[in-house]
A and B are shown apart, each in its own frame.
Chain A
Amino acid sequence: MENLPKNLILGTRTVSFLSNIKVFLASFFLILMMVHVGADIFAKLVFNAPIIGTLETVSYYYMVSIVFLPLAFVELRNGHVFVDLIFRNFPLRAQVIVYVLGCLISVSYYSLFCYQTFLDAVKATSEQETVMSNYLFYVWPSRWTLPIGSATLVLAILLNASIALVTGVVNDAGGEAEVLS
């Protein structure tokens, strides 16, 4: 980290800052999801009256935020699941080249993703998009988590690729992926 050029350190700080804000939000929604679902069950069992809108709020607000907001954070922690069995036997220089090319594919994919979901979010906002429910439920705000999440992810991937190019090694933390299976 200390050996990096100044602009990369600045980039790391910026992307980390952005991704931390979103992880904080996602964490908040995760806790809220647990409390909200728990409260709904409690209300159903005890008062025989569910909390109205639990299903919509939990699915469209909390769930969508938990999935899309932390994408960049996962990338910074090397938590996206990949296969490095063949890769780790490559010579160092080849590793960097293959890794950077792979990053470019990821960047193209998530840029397309970001572009399209941004258009969708703009459209949903102008239409004040709602979902079918027995009352008026606005879903358009959560449409924005997709472009915001994927845009920061693109920045994070570009940052990781630049760091690999500058330092000449691919940083493979990868530890977080292990806890998943």
Chain B
Amino acid sequence: MTPGTIGIYGVVLALTLLAFRVPIAVALGAVSIGGIMLIINPQAGMGIISSVPFNFIGNWSLTAVPMFLLMGFVCTTTGLTNGLFQAMRIFLSRMPGGLAVTSVAACALFASASGSSVATASAMSRIAVPEMLKYKYDPGLACGVIAASGTLGSLIPPSILMVLFAIYAEVSIGKMFLAGFLPGIVSALLYIFMIVVRCWLKPELAGIKIDEKFTRAEKIEAVKNVWPLPVLIFSVLGGIFIGLFSPTEAGAIGAILALLIALLRRQLTFSALKDAVVFTIIGASGIFAILIGTLFFTRFLALSGLPTELSNLVLSLTGDNPYLIIIGVAIIYIVLGMFIDSIGLMLLTLPIILPLAIAADMDLIWFGIIVIKLLEIGLVTPPIGLNVYVIKGALGGQVTLERIFQGVAWFIVMDVVALSLIVVFPELSLYVPTLIMD
């Protein structure tokens, strides 16, 4: 067998193993080690085990991952994220579809701090959806807004997906964070715009008109509940941008700040800290087990020559047109996004997709933002959007799956608009990083 053939069989075998519930880490790792043994010799296969994991994991940049995970879990386990929705509605409920607009803003903050789309959808569906249903909001809108807004977390920095992409593609984590900022805000504003216009044209979507008057005292109380997350996020980002600490160190600062804020608010308990630490460890160990598999897979594919052949083939079809490549990547992510969550899917596909982007001479920061936006869209597209299922799970029989998908459809339209803007105007991603860092 030629190396190229072994490469193709390897990819097919890895996907087959995945379908049979073999963990992603093992499917990638086992196939790669076996493949390298076949292409070169058994010693080479063992040599990769010897050289890659220890040297790669003992890497300063990677420490950002457990630290940002810890920051996110501290925010959720100590309850810094509680009260966010209730407080923000005081400021936003006057707008058409006010509670839905509040949800977008609350989800964006929650997701940015927690770094997890699915955790955001899960928590906010328990808080915000019942509230919207109480005011007779259209159930599709109520659920759709939470499913979609949860996805804002990976684009609005700090974001674990960005850290992992930046490390794998060898680009600056700081630039990646900056690049995601505008696309994230634009996505959120598009959601809000769509909600306001729809509720203005069709007021029954937003149910009973809420005529709440809030006192000054209530507003002050609300600010007290809202401040922790914006302060946390802006201190972390601000510190990076003015150069107080590096993006890698920012994770530790974020975790310390989150703990201090929780302490200040008397919300820091031993069990909350313990939960945050255990969740972080499970998350980090699981992510890096996959990442090691990805690194083995990258070595294996490189030896088989498959990525080069594939790039040549794709480029001969697409010419210099990067849009066609992006459409191809979009199709892959929408299909595979039905089965695999965003981190797993990104780590699974980067060994094949990144060489394509490099061969087509795309800006890797811009490409990274597109990849992340696509991965997040995959979380809400039918027939299987992970976020949609999480919300359905949280609400039980109250709303049907079809209804949620109908509600999400409007948000997907806005996502496609946002994605097109990101693709057509690379400046949207690249302007802020060049402004601050060059």
Contacts and interface: CB of A to CB of B under 8 A. Distances in A.
A178 B390 contact: yes
A74 B282 contact: yes
Given A34-B256, A38-B256, A84-B21, A63 B30 contact: no
Prevailing SS type, chain B contact patch: helix
B17 interface: yes
A105 interface: yes
Contacts of A106: 22-23, 26, 30
Given A81-B344, A181-B116, A105 B67 contact: no
A73 B343 CA distance: 20
A26 interface: yes
Contacts of A109: 26, 29-30, 33
A128 to B, nearest CB: 16
Interface string A136-164: 00010011001000000000000000000
A125 B138 CA distance: 65
B362 interface: no
Nearest to B15: A83
B384 A85 contact: yes
A90 to B, nearest CB: 9
A56 to B, nearest CB: 9
A82 B253 contact: no
B58 interface: yes
Contact of A177 (B58, B117, B274, B341): B341
A60 B67 contact: no
Given A109-B26, A116-B46, A180-B116, A83 B281 contact: no
Contact of B118 (A55, A73, A79, A181): A181
A64 B57 CA distance: 6
B18 interface: yes
B63 A178 contact: no
Given A30-B66, A41-B249, A180-B341, A99 B21 contact: yes
Contacts of B285: 26, 66-71, 73-74, 79
Contact of A73 (B17, B22, B30, B282): B282
Contacts of A74: 282, 285-286, 289
B49 A117 contact: yes
B62 A82 contact: no
Contact of B23 (A23, A59, A80, A112): A80
Contact of A178 (B57, B119, B340): B119
Interface in B55-95: 57-60, 62-63, 66-67, 70
Contacts of B50: 116-117, 119-120
Nearest to A143: B54
A180 B286 contact: yes
A63 B58 contact: yes
Given A34-B70, A179-B283, A105 B343 contact: no
A31 interface: yes
Contacts of B58: 59-60, 63-64, 139, 142
B379 A80 contact: no
A139 B59 CA distance: 13
B413 interface: no
A86 interface: yes
Contacts of B122: 178
Contacts of B30: 105-106, 108-109
A177 B421 CA distance: 32
Contacts of A35: 256
B106 to A, nearest CB: 19
A71 B284 CA distance: 10
A181 B24 contact: no
A98 B23 contact: no
Contacts of B317: none
B388 interface: no
A30 B69 CA distance: 11
Nearest to A36: B252
A26 B281 contact: yes
Nearest to A99: B21
A77 interface: yes
A66 B249 contact: no
B17 A67 contact: no
A66 B66 contact: yes
Given A45-B244, A81-B341, A181-B116, A37 B21 contact: no
Given A62-B63, A85-B338, 14 more contacts: A30-B277, A37-B63, A41-B249, A63-B57, A63-B62, A67-B284, A74-B282, A81-B340, A99-B21, A105-B26, A109-B29, A117-B49, A143-B54, A176-B282
User: Shortest 8 CB-CB distances between A and B: which pairs?
Assistant: A181-B341, A37-B252, A87-B21, A109-B30, A80-B23, A116-B49, A70-B285, A67-B288
Interface of B: 17-26, 29-30, 33, 46, 49-50, 53-54, 57-60, 62-63, 66-67, 70, 116-119, 122, 244-245, 249, 252-253, 255-256, 274, 277-290, 338-344, 379, 384, 386, 390
11 contacts: A37-B249, A58-B63, A63-B59, A67-B57, A69-B285, A80-B26, A85-B338, A86-B21, A112-B33, A176-B282, A180-B286
